Each structure stands twice: as C-alpha cells, then as structure tokens.
Structure 1
Amino acid sequence: MSTGGKGCTRKEKCERSSEPRRFASDIKQCVRLSVHPNNISVSQFSVTLVLEAHNVPELSAGVNCTFEDLTEMNGLVEGNRIKCFSPAEKEMPRIIVDKGDHQIVQLYLKSKETGLAFANTSFVFYNCSVHKSCLSCVSSPYQCHWCKYRHDCTHDPRTCSFQEGRVKKAEGCPQLLPADRILVPVDVVKPITLRAKNLPQPQSGQRGYECLLTIQGSEHRVPALRFNSSSVQCQNTSYFYDGMEMSSLPVVLTVIWNGDFTIDNPANNKVHLYKCDAQRGSCGLCLKADPLFGCVWCKGDNRCTLKQHCPHPENQWLEHNGINSKCTHPRITQDGNKVVKNSSSSV
C-alpha cells in the first residue's frame, strides 16, 4: 500500500514503494489503528484523542483526523502517535444519537500528502440521557451514572445534587423488592405495603410518594407514605373494576415520587384486584376459590362474598377447609335431555 495511491496494486506500480512501510505484501504489514479513549459522551466536546498507528509510513507531511463526513481537523503527529480532538460543540448536533444509547462512527486518518484516508477505526458517541430509569442507566456499558435526586442519567456524576445521590451500580438503585402476590378485594378500604431499598427521602421543594394504579386503562393516584428507605405504603383506599367476567384482575402498580419520578420495579410487582362473586355463582365454585382470597359462601344471602360482608352468624357461612366446608344446597342443572340433580358436594 502506498499513501501516494492507496489501493491494491503491483509493487512496481506503487509510488515510492521502496521507502519503509510504503508497500505491504503481507497482512501483518497492513496499517492498524487504535484510539484512546474509544468512546465519549455526546455532551463532551473537543476531547483529546490519542491514536496509535502501526505499520504507517513516515508522516512528516502531516495527517488530518476525520469523523466520517462530519468533521475534519488537523492531527498532531508524535512518532507513531497522532493527537486529535473530538468534534466541537457546534459540530455535535449532527451526530447526537436519536435511537438507542450510542452511535458508532468511523474515525479516519487522512494523509495531507495525498488527501486520501489510509487508516480507520471505530469510535463511539454515547448518550446517557436516553436512559429514564436507574437500572437501565447503570446497566449501560458506557460511563453512565444515575442522579437519584434529579432522576437523571449522566456521564458526569459531579452534576448530581448530592454525593449520596450518585449511583453507579444496580445495588444502589431505588427499587421495589419482589413481593408475594398482592391481593386486594374490590370495594374494601385497604393499604398496600411494599418492601423496597434505597428509597430517596424527598428534599426541600420535592413532593412525596404516590402509588399509581392503572385499572382498565384509567390511572388512579393514591397518596403513599415512605416509612424509611426500605418500605413504602399506598394509603387506605378502595379499588374497583367493571364487569363480572374476571374473578381477578392484575393491575400494574407504579410507585412515584416528586410528581413523576418512578421507582424501578424490576420484579414487575402487580396488584391483583378480585371479586369473590365473579364467576362463582354456586357454593362449590365459591369454595374452590384460592383460600388466600378469604371468600365464603354466605348461606343467608346465597352468594359468594368476604366473611366481613356476610351479615349472618359464623355457622351460616361455608369456607374452604373450615368447620363448615360442605355445600349442602341441591342445584338442578339441565344438560340436553338429561336432568342432573346435585345434592351435597364436599370441597
């Protein structure tokens, strides 16, 4: 290869091929290029980059550094090292990432002698600000830090409001911990307590905690109380969903603070709203409900409901594995021309 005419050719047709490293006849003689650092944030400008070039001819005529067709600047040659600068601020908008958290561009060395690029290497511009959650931010392979009091992902942790607000590892992220199934009967006023870790204490001027439940497309905001960094409680509220087609409805639960700062929920905890009487019109179906629901067959009202909603004495309800756990009311069902009489059934 010759800087006088980059390309594949016979040696005798290569200009100045007799000079050192002007012609390569073996793959080991090809020009290799590396750069340090090999990635920077899109919000860093005019950063000094050091390129190491191997198997290059003498570069006294000088070189330029070119980021694809975006920007070109003079390179400072020091032996086989070349110092370049990353793009200035006015040139960066053309390469700001619009998809994903990084963009790969080719960094070329261009000979001033010929005006041709003779070596290139990959260079990465990354954008921490596309990450909107702590766990996503600190999982980036790049130098991204989470400012938990600003709810912001940045390459420069010095911009975080407080030293203790800088997070670099997933263990330090504010997050909800995995919870057992959260069961909430409809129309029953009940708090929801959640285990968590690293919950920030709102600072002066910041709003407190809320729980956001999305029920059948509608958002319901509920005041929440942060007990400490490891516990938060959605305050006493009742919930409801329309229809009797579903005996239970899993609902997305989001814990937020300061209006719209979302606490990560890596376990995807949900609230399971339920109705005892939905899809349980008979005693047998009622007693087959998950025991954790606490449903009973209220004989006086002839319906499936919660214990506290059955106004009759205890011996007037039937419950799973209770003293009274045997359905005794007969029921006639029609199956084609066959009439079946159900008398007693044990669950």
Structure 2
Amino acid sequence: MDSSHGRQYHSLRPFSYVFKGTSTLELPLLTTLHLEHVILRCDDNSDDKCIDLFSKCTNLKNLTLIGCNLKGCKVLSICLPLLSNIELHQAGCGSLTVINIVAPQLKKLTITDFQYKEYLISAPNLVFLIYKGNHCLQLPANDYHFMEKADICVKYPKCAHQVLSLLQQLANVKFLTLSLEIVELLSSSMELMSNQPSPFANLKSLKIHPERYLSEVREHERVKMSAEVRGYLLDSSPGATFTMVSREEVRAMHDIKSVQTLIKRLRTLLEKEKARTESKMATMHEQGKAPVDVDMSWKDLIVQIEKGEEKASIIISLWKAIKEVLTRLPASNRATIQPLFSTLGAETDIVMKKITDCMKMDCDENQRRLSLCFHELATNLQSSS
C-alpha cells in the first residue's frame, strides 16, 4: 500500500474472503496490491456472476494475483484507469471462465495460465506482454502501436488461425519470443500463410525456444521450421537478430545445471564427512589407550555404524546421479565438466575410505567390549563355583 506517509506492501496469505457480487474493496489510496492463494467466494444470487472487486481502488497501479481461487462467479472484471502493471499467475481458478481487463494506462501485462480461460483485454498503450499457457491467447482487434516486447509461450497450440490472429495483433513489436510449439504448428499449416506478407516491420529480435521437453514430444510432432514460416516472421525486418533454441539444447542446459547442483551437494557432503571422520578417528584413538568401559552402550556403537552406512549410501547415490547426467551431455559440454568430476572422484575415494575405517573401528570396539564382557562373566562364574 502506497501513501503519502510511506510505502507498505501487503501480501495476503491463504484465507477465504466472502463477499457479494456487488462488493468491492474500498481502498482509494492503494497503489500496489499483491494477493497470493486467496479464496474469493461470491455469495450473490445474481445471474451474471461477475465480480468487480477492484473498481473502487481508483489509484491502483500495480496488481498481482497468484493462485487465487474464485468460487461462485464466472467473470472477474479488472477496470482501472491508472493501472500500469498486472501479473496474473494461475489467477482465477475454480468457476471463473472470463477475465475482463480494461486499463487504458496499462504498460505491462504478465499472464501464466494453464487452464482454458477467455481474456478480454482493452489496453491500447500496452508495451510489454508476457504470456505462458497451454492454449493460445486471443487479443481483441486493436492497434498496439506502443508494443515493444512480447513473449508468447504456448505449450499446446491447436489452431493455426488463432496463432496467426495473435501475431497480427503484435505487428508493431520490436522484441518477439515465441515457443517452438507455435513454429511447429505454423510449419504444419503453411497454406494459411501463402501470399501473406510479414506483419513485423519493426522487429529487432526474434527468439524461438521450446516450452515442452524433448521427452514430452513424440517424433511425429517434431516439425522443422519451414522457410515459409521464417519468411513470414522475418522478411519485413531483414536486419533483426534471430535465435532458435532446440529441445536438445534446452535439455543440455538443464542437465548442466543439474550436474552442477549435484556436484555442489556432493562436495559439501564430502567436506563435512571428512571433518567428522577425522575428528572421530582422533577421539577413538585416544579412547583406545584408556581402559574399556563395559557399561558403555553397545547400541550407541551400532547406531554409529548405521549412520556411517547411511552416509556412504548417500555419497554413492549422488556419485551415480552425476555420472548418469554426464553420459547424457553432448561431448563438448561433458569435456568441460569431466576434469572436475575426476577430481571429485579422488576426493570421494578418500572420504569413503575414512568412513569405512571409522565403521571398522566401531566394529572392533564393539567386539572388544563383547570379549571383555564374556571374560568378566566367565571369571565371575569360576569365582562363584
């Protein structure tokens, strides 16, 4: 909440807010609102089931809705004259089917929505559009003259007509990112683009990247980018930079990140185990010079042995996981990580030997106490006879 007395941001955590369909939040000084995992339930009996929750927040400029669940209503209306930034992330789950946005000053719109929902958007001054979802976003016919950047990631585009309609609405964009799935769909529907000029006359950068992993896409679904699609996207802006990332490259980047994380975890564990085992071995060496205390718990020794086995098992699992990821990496990427992996292997051997030595010392100590106990028991039996 912004005010002349200072700035405060309120994030409302999960709770249920019950209101009638005609209710609104009366917060005229509010400029920033963040609602996360809030349940909004409409108990109104009206037929339209439309919520106009924010209409009296007349100074609202930034609105974020994350994982909000709307029950008992079909339409969420966001009509605000000063709104400049909206982020909707899985907003409006439940019975909601339509989100109506009327924001003449809106500059940035971010939508992440993997459910089918209709968006009615009136934002003529929109500059940045970021959309990620399963289905294609439909923008109403409008001239988005100020559009500079659009990032459109559709995981399962079905209708090439809808995709082309959306692209035509983004004709003024300068920086465009599209999911590879959109390009594959267009490349399978080239007849729709025949004799159509490229709408992107101001394009400076075009990026194509996959939204679905390689393992998620069947072989017959993988379509190379056709010359017709490339021409439709780039012919009107021949100076634009073009970047296309394949699913193999995405998988390699994901694997590199995974192996780096695993190596970091293993190295941290090895350092801790090296310090622990060295300290323990020094302590046990000193204890070995002292008389054996037969009253000390054998159970404690067994627990120590089990802990050593558990640590060794975790280290081996991490080592195998790193090796498995490395085998999937392209040779060039694997070559940069292999020396680090080899060094880590030597460190692992040293620590595993220390763990094994500690476990052996625990076993020897256990056996020593057991032998001493039997010896004392035999001596006591002879004395009593």
Which structure ranks higher in relative contact order (CA pairs < 8 Å, sequence separation ≥ 6)? 1
Q: Which band: TM-score by shorter chain? A: under 0.3
The structure with more strand, counted as a fraction of residues: 1
Q: Which has the larger radius of gyration?
A: 1
